[in-house]
Structure 1
Amino acid sequence: MRLERGATGFRGPGDARVPETDATLFRSACWNAARGIGGRVSEPARAEASSFHWVIVTSRAAPYVVLCHAHLPIVAFAAASPVPGQPLSAFVDPPPWGAGFEVAGFRCLLADHLNTPMSRLDVTGLAEAELMQIRYWRPEKLSDLLFNWWD
């Protein structure tokens, strides 16, 4: 899997700005998904000290944590809420209603993809500042790199 510039959320002093994911589009996709299953959406947690935004979509069946990368149109699903500063875990495959995120232009990642070891990822598209962060933080897998609390 080839990573795109902005995957870590970092840029160097002379680098162009990293792209921003449209948070309004993400919220809209969450509300549409919740309406479709008769569920509710929590207040979004914005990416301030992290590389992602997240909400909880609660349905009759179970709550899902929906994570949205702050710089790339990527979403992932988890069974447990993020704990600030801690690596994320408990990733699950997208629920059936997750297809609505793809219709909105997001890529939904499978749990297996998120567990891809760093050694199997192509980082040649990343900026030098991002590669420096990877060398410093030493993420073990894709999820550690995409959904991080690095400062």
Structure 2
Amino acid sequence: MRLDRGATGFCGPGDNLANETGLTLFRSACWEAARRIGGRVGESPAARGSSFHSVTITSQAEEHFVLCHAHSPVVAFTELPPVPGQPLSRFVDPPPWADAFEAAVFRCLQVEDLSLPMSKVDVAELAEAELAQIRYWRPQGLSDLLFNWWD
């Protein structure tokens, strides 16, 4: 998988950080997804130092945590809520209602994508400041790089 500049959420002096993901568009997709399952959206407070936004989509049957990368139009789903500073785990494949995100131009990542080891991730487009962060934090896989608490 090839990553675009900004995938880590970092930039160096003189670098331009990648555009912010459309937070309004993400929230609209969340509300549409919740509407489809008769659910509701719970906003999570913005976590300082994270590379992503998160919300909870709850239906009568289940609760999903949706992560949206702050600089790339990708989303992922977990069974457990994000805990600031802790690695994310228990990723799940997108539920059937995730097509609401795809309709809003987000790519829904599969567990298989998120599990890619760093040796299979193409980082050629990343800025030197991002590569320095990768060397420092040593993410094990794509999920660790995309959805991080690096400061």
What is the aligned partner in structure 1 of residue 135 from structure 2? Answer: 135
What is the aligned partner in structure 1 of residue 148 from structure 2? Answer: 148
Contact 2:40–2:59 (Cα < 8 Å) also in 1: yes
Residue by residue over 1:21-45, the C-alpha shift from the partner in whole angstroms, topping out at 9 and shown as x without a partner, is: 0111111100011011100100243
Task: Say whether 1:83 aligns with 2:95.
Answer: no
Residue by residue over 1:61-118, the C-alpha shift from the partner in whole angstroms, topping out at 9 and shown as x without a partner, is: 2100000000000000000001110110000000000011000010000011101000
Number of aligned residue pairs: give it. 151
1:50-61 → structure 2 map (5 Å cutoff): 50-61=50-61
Amino acid at match of 1:95: P
Contact 1:47–1:70 (Cα < 8 Å) also in 2: no
Task: Say whether 1:26 aligns with 2:26.
Answer: yes
SS in 1 for 2:134: helix
If the length of structure 1 is used for normalisation, what is the TM-score?
0.97
Q: Superposition RMSD on alpha carbons, in Å?
A: 0.9
Amino acid at match of 1:127: A
What is the CA distance between 1:18 and its match in structure 2?
A: 1.9
SS in 2 for 1:42: strand
Contact 1:27–1:44 (Cα < 8 Å) also in 2: no
Q: Structure 1, unaligned stretches of length 5 or more?
A: none
CA distance in 1, matches of 2:16, 2:43: 31
- 44-53 or 6-15: bigger deviation: 44-53
SS in 1 for 2:43: coil
Amino acid at match of 2:131: L
Contact 1:41–1:58 (Cα < 8 Å) also in 2: yes
Amino acid at match of 1:137: W
Contact 1:9–1:51 (Cα < 8 Å) also in 2: yes
1:30-49 → structure 2 map (5 Å cutoff): 30-49=30-49
What is the aligned partner in structure 2 of residue 104 from structure 1? Answer: 104
If the length of structure 2 is used for normalisation, what is the TM-score?
0.97
CA distance in 1, matches of 2:19, 2:129: 15
What is the CA distance between 1:17 and its match in structure 2?
A: 2.6
Aligned residues with identical type, % of pairs: 68
What is the aligned partner in structure 2 of residue 2 from structure 1? Answer: 2
Contact 2:39–2:59 (Cα < 8 Å) also in 1: yes
